[in-house]
Amino acid sequence: MRLEPVSLDERVESIDIMRGFALLGILLINMLAFHSPFSYIDPYTWFDGPGDQATFAFLDIFIQASFYPLFAMLFGYGLGIQFLRAEARNKSFAPMAVKRLAVLLVFGILHAFLIWFGDILITYAIMGFLLIGMMRLESKWLLRLGLLIYAIPQALLLMILFAAVAADSSFYTGIQEVQDSIAAYGGGTFAEIFRQRFDDWMYGNNALNYIVLTVTILPFTMIGAAAAKWRLIERADELKKLWIGLAVGGFALGLLLKLMPYIIEPNIAITFLQDIFGGPLLAVAYAAIIALITRHGSVPLLLRPLVKAGRMSLTIYITQSLIATTIFYSYGLGLYGQVNLLTGTLLGLGIFAVQLIFAEIWLSKFSQGPLEMIWRKLTYGLNFKKTNKSNY
C-alpha cells in the first residue's frame, strides 16, 4: 500500500474524470434551460411529451443539484492545490490567484451576456476571491466553517418554505415570461435575444438570490479546498474506508432525499430539501465512487474519455453553450420551445459525445484546451509549448 501522497506536480487523472463527469451532468441539466423557459415553469407538469415524465424523473433524481456542487468542490480543490504548490515553492499565492480569477470573471461575463444567461463562471470567480482570504485556515476549520455557512442559512430558509407551503404549495409559472422567452430566443433578433438574456440573468442573479448563491456555492469551494489540503483524492488508496463510507452513506441518504417529491409531493419546500441537501450528498457519493474506482491509479477504459474532457473543462463548458444556443436560438436552427425533454436530453448526450471526440483529437496535439491556453496566457504571459506539465 502506498502511504505517501503523490507529488504536487503529478496530475491526478481521477480529478479529471470527476471534472469530465460533472461536465456531462451540468450539460444534461442545462439542456432544460437551453431549449425551454425552465426558469419560469413548473417542471413537474410542463413536460408532457412521450417519455418526458420518465426523463424528468431521472434528471431530477440523479442529475439536478448534484453536479454543480461536485464542480464547485473540484474548483475549490484546484485552488487548494495551487495554494499548496505556491507554498512549496516559497511563492506568493494571492496575487497570481487574483489575476487568474479575474480572467475567469471576464470569461464568465462574456459567456453570460453574449452566449447564455445560465453562466456559473462569474459566481465561481467571485467565490474564488472570497476563498483566497481563507486559504491559510487549517483544513479542519475550512471544512467546519464551510458546513456551518451552508447548513445554517439553508435550514432557516427550509423552515420558511415549509411555513409558506402551509398557505400555498403551488409552483410559480410565469406565463408572460414564458411567452417572452419563446418569442425572443425562438424567433427574435440578436438584440432581442440580448435583452432577454440580460433579463434572465438578472432574474437569477438579483441581490437576494446572490446572497443565497454565496451561502450555497462558497461552502462547496471551502470543502474542496480543505479536501485538497488533506490530499484526499490522491490518498484514496490509503483512505479506502473513508471513501467507501462517503460513497455508501452519501448515495443512500442523498437518494432518499432526492426521492422526496415522488414519495410525498412536489412542492417548493420538498424540492428545496431535495436539491439543497439531497443533491450535494449525491455529489459526494459520485466523487467517492470515482475515487474508489481509480484508487490504484488505473483508469477503466469506459471512463478514460472523461479524462481529456476534464483537462479542458473551461473549453468544454463554454462550447456546450455555443453549440446548444446555436441549435435552439433564432440565429441558428431556431428550435427553442419546439423539442420535448427526451429529445433535448438525447441531443445533450450527442453534444457531449462530439466534445469527447474533439477533446481527444485536440489534446493529442496540444497540452491544454484552446480556452485554457488563452486563460493561462492572460494570467502568466507564457509562451506555450507542447508539454505535459500538470495544471489544475
329: CB partners within 8 A, 6+ apart: 185, 186, 193, 336
Give me 294's grid cell.
481509480
Per-residue pLDDT tens over the stretch 310-362 = 999 999 999 999 999 999 999 999 999 999 999 999 999 999 999 999 999 99
Task: Tell me: pLDDT of 139 over 80.
Answer: yes
- Residue 216 banded pLDDT, cuts 50, 70, 90: very high
Q: Average the pLDDT over 212-232 and give the result.
A: 97
Alpha carbon of 123 to those of 18, 73, 127: distances in Å? 20, 13, 6
Say what percent of the chain tops pLDDT 70. 93
Q: Average the pLDDT over 125-143 and give the result.
A: 97
Q: Average the pLDDT over 25-34 and give the result.
A: 98
pTM: 0.92
Question: What integer pLDDT is reported at residue 1 of this predicted model?
Answer: 31
Give me 179's grid cell.
411567452
Question: What integer pLDDT is reported at residue 388 of this predicted model?
Answer: 44
Helix axes 304-311, 341-363, angle to 10 degrees: 80
Question: What integer pLDDT is reported at residue 67 of this predicted model?
Answer: 97
DSSP 344-368: HHHHHHHHHHHHHHHHHHHHTT-SS
Task: Tell me: pLDDT of 382 over 70.
Answer: no
Q: Average the pLDDT over 276-294 and give the result.
A: 97
Find cell 483524492 and name the residue.
Answer: 233
Task: Tell me: pLDDT of 173 over 70.
Answer: yes
Q: Closest by alpha carbon to 26, among 60, 56, 71?
A: 71
Question: What integer pLDDT is reported at residue 167 of this predicted model?
Answer: 67
DSSP 6: P
Task: Tell me: pLDDT of 114 over 70.
Answer: yes
- Residue 10 banded pLDDT, cuts 50, 70, 90: low
Question: What integer pLDDT is reported at residue 296 of this predicted model?
Answer: 75
Question: What integer pLDDT is reported at residue 49 of this predicted model?
Answer: 84
Burial string for 52-84 (b: 16+ CB within 10 Å, else e) reads beebbeebbbbbbbbbbbbbbbbbbbbbbbbbb
Question: What integer pLDDT is reported at residue 206 of this predicted model?
Answer: 87
